């Protein structure tokens, strides 16, 4: 089996494993939490994305890992991690907290989608061995990050919809 096929199989199985784990252990807890607390938990996970800078360390990744892929992935991961930390630091200032929650999720999901795009463009699955010690990041870490971004957006939309319903109900109650 080629390294490209192994990489693609492991990437898909990374999503399957995380979805199974998430469905049994994480989702049941997150969905009963206050949405602010759920977003704090998700931001905490993403605050470790500063680790993505390691994509640019010689010796950790192979010399043939495309530099354009590595730099983009590294800097956008770093930006996402900093924005997640800012969300955590501003939790007591709710408007700032929510601004940073939206920001780190937007930057983070754009990062992951563009990383997938760039990976296909540079033929990364065929060069998977060049990831060196970081091979586990796209296989194990990235699926969990994407899943938590989707959940964060779900909670943001759901909170907004709930807030709109409550505002409409309150307005209707006052008019009677």
pLDDT of 42:
98
Angle of helix 67-89 relative to helix 35-46, nearest 10 degrees, comes to 140
Per-residue confidence band for 161, with pLDDT thresholds at 50, 70 and 90 = low
Beta bridge partners of 58: 61
Task: State the pLDDT at residue 168.
Answer: 44
103's tokens: 């920001």
Helix H segments across 122-141? 136
pLDDT score, position 142: 96
How many C-alpha atoms does 111 have within 13 Å on its Cβ side?
Answer: 27
Q: In whole angstroms, what is the distance from residue 160 CA to residue 152 CA?
A: 12
Per residue in 42-62, pLDDT (tens digit) is 999 999 999 999 998 888 888
What pLDDT digit, counting tens, does each position of 69-122 carry?
899 999 999 999 999 999 999 999 999 999 999 999 999 999 999 999 999 999
Q: Does the predicted model carry a pTM greater than 0.85?
A: yes
């Amino acid at each position: 089996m080629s390294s490209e096929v192994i990489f693609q199989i492991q990437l898909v199985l990374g999503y399957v494993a995380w979805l199974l784990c998430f469905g049994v252990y994480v989702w049941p807890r997150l969905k009963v939490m206050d949405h602010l607390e759920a977003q704090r938990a998700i931001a905490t996970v993403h605050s470790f994305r500063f680790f993505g800078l390691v994509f640019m360390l010689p010796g950790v990744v192979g010399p043939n890992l495309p530099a354009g892929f590595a730099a983009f992935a590294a800097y956008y991961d770093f930006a996402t991690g900093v924005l997640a930390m800012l969300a955590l630091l501003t939790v007591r200032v709710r408007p700032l907290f929510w601004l940073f929650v939206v920001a780190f999720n937007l930057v983070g999901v754009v990062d992951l989608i563009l990383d997938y795009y760039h990976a296909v463009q540079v033929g990364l699955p065929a060069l998977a061995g060049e990831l060196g010690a970081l091979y586990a990041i796209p296989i194990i870490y990235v699926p969990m990050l994407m899943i938590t971004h989707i959940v964060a957006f779900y909670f943001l939309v759901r909170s907004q919809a709930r807030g709109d319903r409550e505002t409409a109900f309150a307005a209707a109650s006052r008019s009677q």
